[in-house]
Amino acid sequence: MSDQARVTLGPVNLSEGEMKGYAVGKRNLLIARHGGKVRALDDWCNHAGCLLSGGRVEGSMVVCSCHEVGFDLATGKNVTSPGVCDDQRTFRVEEEDGEVVVYGFPDSPLP
């Protein structure tokens, strides 16, 4: 596989405000539906390594269950605790023929 991959997750049936984590190779990907669009973020919180998919959606952000850090679903911006950790990585995602496709998702773990 290349360093940057096109990942097809298949049909993802999420209602507005729902999210789900996916294992993709050696990485984890968070998929959420917000504002009528599907969003994709790296599922590993860059603060403590917890899975964001184990947290909750509050308005336009996902809140990590470990330390309550909130990241904007569209931009990955740390909106609650900027001094605690960096913004979360996001990925381009589209729905194509009923399937969710994520672009630019690396297939190897973070260093």
The model carries a pTM of 0.86
CB 90 within 8 A of CB 39: yes
Tokens of 68: 């309550």
With respect to residue 30, please indicate whether it lies within any of the assigned structural domains: yes
Domain containing 23: what range?
4-105
Over the chain (111 residues), what is each successive 10-residue block's mean pLDDT?
A: 70 92 90 94 91 96 94 96 92 90 71 40
What is the structure's pLDDT at 1? 39
What is the structure's pLDDT at 63? 96
With respect to residue 111, please indicate whether it lies within any of the assigned structural domains: no
With respect to residue 110, please indicate whether it lies within any of the assigned structural domains: no
Long-range contacts of residues 59-63, Cβ cutoff 8 Å, at least 24 apart: 60/34, 60/35, 62/19, 62/30, 62/32
Rg (C-alpha) for the chain, rounded Å, is: 13
What's the CATH number where 28 sits? 2.102.10.10
List the Cα angle 77/70/72 in 5-degree steps: 40
What is the structure's pLDDT at 4? 58
Domain count, the chain: 1
